[in-house]
Structure 1
Amino acid sequence: MSEGVEHKAQVLLVEDNLTDATFIRTILEKDGDIRVTLSQDGIRGCQLVESNRWELVVTDFNLPGRDGIEVILACKKHQPETPIIALSGYPGSDHKEGALRAGASDYLDKPIDGDDLISAARRVLKLKSEEETRTRVLLAIGAYPGDVELGCGATLMKQGMRGDDVHVAVISSGAAGTEAVERVEATDRACRVMGAQLHLPPDGTPELPESDIVLIRIRDAIEALQPDLVFAPSVHDVRESRQQVFTATEIAAAEVPSLFCYQAATTTLDFRPTHFEDVSDFLDQKMAALTYFQHLAEGRPHLHPSLARSTAQYWGRFLGYADVEPFEVIRQNL
């Protein structure tokens, strides 16, 4: 009786040059633990990422039918956790930046070095396997109530549904008296919808404290939670308070593997996201979380759910017109 079939990682290779495809397949299948399926055009490649589950996609840039960027976008839309290695024979950095912006995990120049290829493939496959079996801790930091819900609320819900431990830290209530209480209640209810544990300042701070106090509070939260990924407002912001939170987070999170920055209400046009998270399945829940802020939305139209939905659709042009939350990636080592 058989003791079981050895698992082979299923890899999709999209490459129209048969010589290159044969070389790549030989390298990847050499040790017997990877099985490669070949597509020689972009249209078929996009169909395969939609209809099959892959543990790795390797795609060339210059393809008949649809190019490599379209293959990457299709993969990120239909199976966003699948790592992608992009290949290109074009010199310069434009193609590399385009591939990484679209969602590729790695990029290799042609002619392909066999050792570099197998090292890259095993690295991303190992990371994917570890991610599937390990619970991560995520910490999202907001200067005020509503910052996190607006900037990365759907992403937190998505990761929480996958088993990650999600936390939200708010540095200041941004108000005093009754309004402060209402804001705290709104963010508490929103965090319950998001499945996140809320951490509030100990004194109900109405205004953002001095820089050293902000740094201490963020550092204390990071030391207590030991997060794998931290979200913070972008430094590209009109308000100095959000710039201050970013700066403190960047210092306090120096040892955290990954640091992403989200778009806040007052983020400027200098915001340059390179990671686009498909949150199509979680956008309605995000809208539900934002409804708790509607009674506070007078003078704050950014908290209106319809505007948040429009923003998600706007950024979707970078990910096959899915509903998207955009992030600047300061560091990504997950």
Structure 2
Amino acid sequence: MLDPNPSSRTTPSDGSGPAPGGLLPPGVDRAATPPQRVAVLWCRRSADAATEALAALGLIPLLLDPTETTQFLDAMGEPSVLVVDCDALDDAAMEVLAQTRSAHPRLSVCALAGAEASRDGLLRALRLGVSEVVDPDDAEQLLATLTKVVQAPPAVRVLAVGAHPDDVEIGCGGTLLRHRDAGHAVTVLTLTLGAQGGPAVDRRREAVGAATRMGAELLLADLTDTRLDEEVGLTRLVEDVVATVRPSVVYVHSTADQHQDHRAVHDAVVVATRRVPEVYCYQSPSSRVGFSPTRFVRVDDTLDEKVDLLGVYRSQSARHYLEPDLVTATARYWARQLPHIRHAEPFEVHRASGDGPDLL
């Protein structure tokens, strides 16, 4: 049994602990991982040095023809960096580069230009916003330059905690999608497989599917459904997850809830995240009248995708609270708190430093 006394813990949960993606406590499985960070290369010469440097930075290098890039960006989203060989910058490639820079102004672009590189091509690339120019034959300089221009891992790390599969998606799915779209790293921690509500194997598969669609990391524990209030080591387990994920924003059940598992998770998370600057409590179908939100996040742009996420939970399709019209009506109801929006998700503010991400 894990240590029931959280005050005896020495692992910090203020951002100074292990790096994200590190070791998890026993009983917690990394069931889904976020999409890999990728780099796109346009090269006519050998790309070995560039691919080795990118791989050393933890990126997956993808060698594409410039004409394939727009389709890739539409399907996969913005890569961490675009590496272009000046010798590959013909008129068609320059047009694609201009379109890419216009559509993705934050995207870092690094030009490979050796001693024989076309001066005209290099000048045109610089006019289009190339971030850095580097000699592809200088391996040390190449690695140093790519290290400088590659987009850093997200500074905002979000942890959403739920007792059962689908809890998080119901309570804050639209908000988590907003975080994802803002480039924030999202982790979902689900503490049971919800075996009292359906076959555990189905609910696990559905949770993985929903996290994958959301681009989130999914951490799953298999504690006893409906008995979390009796789990002596629950706080310690959550503390260990917090030390690994190192979140800057946390979402969890409200204590104003009729379900004993939800209240137990709330209590454990409040203790385990005592050094996290932003902690918010979401509404569940079992929330009581005492749920008193004071923060409302606009989900106009993500509500349809939230409904699709909830549709992944087919084993729960008979639950009235998953019906799309009720999900939409609930978001419409809470939007009355904010001007000029149609849909919102409500949160009780447990802690807010004032420096958290503004999603309104």
1:323 equivalent in structure 2: 343
- 1:301 and 2:307 equivalent? no
2:332 equivalent in structure 1: 313
CA distance in 2, matches of 1:304, 1:254: 35
Counterparts of 1:1-334 in structure 2, within 5 Å, are: 135-175=155-195, 179-201=199-221, 203=222, 205-209=224-228, 210-298=230-318, 300-320=319-339, 321-333=341-353, 334=356
Shift of 1:265: 1.4
Shift of 1:192: 1.4
- Provide the secondary structure at the position in 1 that maps to 2:345: strand
Q: Is the 8 A contact 1:258 1:332 kept in 2?
A: yes
Query: Alpha-carbon deviations, 1:114-164, whole Å to 9, x = none?
Result: xxxxxxxxxxxxxxxxxxx96200000001011000000111111111111
Q: Cα–Cα, structure 1 residues 294 and 304, in superposed 2: closer, same or farther, change >3 Å?
A: farther
* TM-score of the aligned structures, taking structure 1 as reference length: 0.57
* TM-score of the aligned structures, taking structure 2 as reference length: 0.53
Q: Larger Rg: 1 or 2?
A: 2
Q: Give aligned-pair identity as a percent.
A: 35
Shift of 1:214: 1.8
* Residue identity opposite 2:325 in structure 1: S
| Bigger mean CA deviation after superposition, 213-222 or 278-287 | 213-222
Aligned length: 201
* Residue identity opposite 1:271 in structure 2: F
Shift of 1:212: 2.4
Shift of 1:178: 7.0
Shift of 1:177: 11
Q: Is the 8 A contact 2:189 2:220 kept in 1?
A: yes
Shift of 1:186: 1.1
Q: Greater helix share, 1 or 2?
A: 1
CA distance in 2, matches of 1:205, 1:314: 34
Q: Cα–Cα, structure 1 residues 313 and 215, in superposed 2: closer, same or farther, change >3 Å?
A: same
Query: Alpha-carbon deviations, 1:230-282, whole Å to 9, x = none?
Result: 10000000111101110011010101111000001100111110100001000
CA distance in 1, matches of 2:223, 2:206: 14
CA distance in 1, matches of 2:226, 2:256: 20
Q: Cα–Cα, structure 1 residues 220 and 295, in superposed 2: closer, same or farther, change >3 Å?
A: same
- Provide the secondary structure at the position in 2 that maps to 1:284: helix
Q: Which is bigger in relative contact order (C-alpha 8 A, separation at least 6)? A: 2
* Residue identity opposite 1:301 in structure 2: H
Shift of 1:308: 1.1
Q: Let me know the Cα RMSD of the aligned residues.
A: 2.0
Deviating beyond 6 angstroms after TM superposition, the runs of 4 or more aligned structure 1 residues are none
CA distance in 2, matches of 1:198, 1:216: 19
CA distance in 2, matches of 1:243, 1:288: 27
